[in-house]
Chains A and B, each alone.
Chain A
């Protein structure tokens, strides 16, 4: 009986996680995909790619601070919790499970706090963060 209960709990938990992932994907498609693209590849020279780089940048304190202060995060019309969910979904979607697992998940509190500190000059900060996280 305990095994049955455990199986039911595990299945419910998996279904809830799948629901959260679908909502995060939907929010990415509606709010971010127009520029970053369906695959997160961005547009060379104009829109930063999220593929691979998101986890790499987010693993360093200065990179994490950068991610939380880019215009797409600070100016988003989504709630802080929804933005955090999109970031965490994007980590796995665009950087792969192994890289994403090493990153502390983004939280709604971090996103809410960063909104009062938007980046003004984005490109130089990104270039510096990329150099420092090579």
Chain B
């Protein structure tokens, strides 16, 4: 304990010689507040920073693990954006897919794009995690365009990453 005390004393004296009290308080404050708030920062919002592989115009692409519909990436849009002339349905269904590149489970929002008749290209129906219609938030057989302004006409589906499912 004596050694510990003398070590702390030496460090304190050395710190007192080189830094003002306010400076120390400021730095300590930054460290503690930073350490406490870092885990609260949003995780993997959107697509930024996600390492991935695969062709987004094929059903095997990892984000499509629970999809049931036409891929917007084959219909003039992309994996995350609706084709011109359509709009994303505000009501979606949400599932998780494993990204083999980084081994993480991601939360995927499947947004139907609405306003034009069915695209007809790249129909995928993988259904992993799909549940019966009486579990609507986990069922992919619904036409979610019923919630959009342009209503029923379903065109295709996009797959947006909205988070990481790393908590059990």
Report the minimal beta-carbon distance from A114 to chain B, rounded to whole angstroms. Answer: 19
Do the beta carbons of B94 and A29 come within 8 Å of each other? yes
In A79-105, which residues have CB < 8 Å from any B CB? none
Do the beta carbons of A43 and B90 come within 8 Å of each other? yes
Describe A's contact surface by its main secondary structure: helix
Residues of A within 8 A of B40 (CB): 18, 21
Do the beta carbons of A34 and B167 come within 8 Å of each other? no
Report the minimal beta-carbon distance from B50 to chain A, rounded to whole angstroms. Answer: 16
Total interface residues on B, CB under 8 Å, equals: 23
Which of B10-18, B31-39, B55-63 interfaces with chain A? B31-39
A47 at the interface (CB under 8 A from B): yes
Do the beta carbons of B35 and A34 come within 8 Å of each other? no
Do the beta carbons of B165 and A34 come within 8 Å of each other? no
* 18 A-B pairs (CB sep. < 8 Å): A7-B32, A11-B32, A11-B36, A15-B36, A18-B36, A18-B40, A19-B39, A22-B39, A22-B43, A22-B167, A26-B163, A26-B165, A26-B167, A30-B96, A30-B107, A33-B109, A34-B137, A47-B91
Give the interface of B toward A (CB within 8 A): 32, 35-36, 39-40, 43, 90-96, 107, 109, 135, 137, 147, 162-163, 165-167
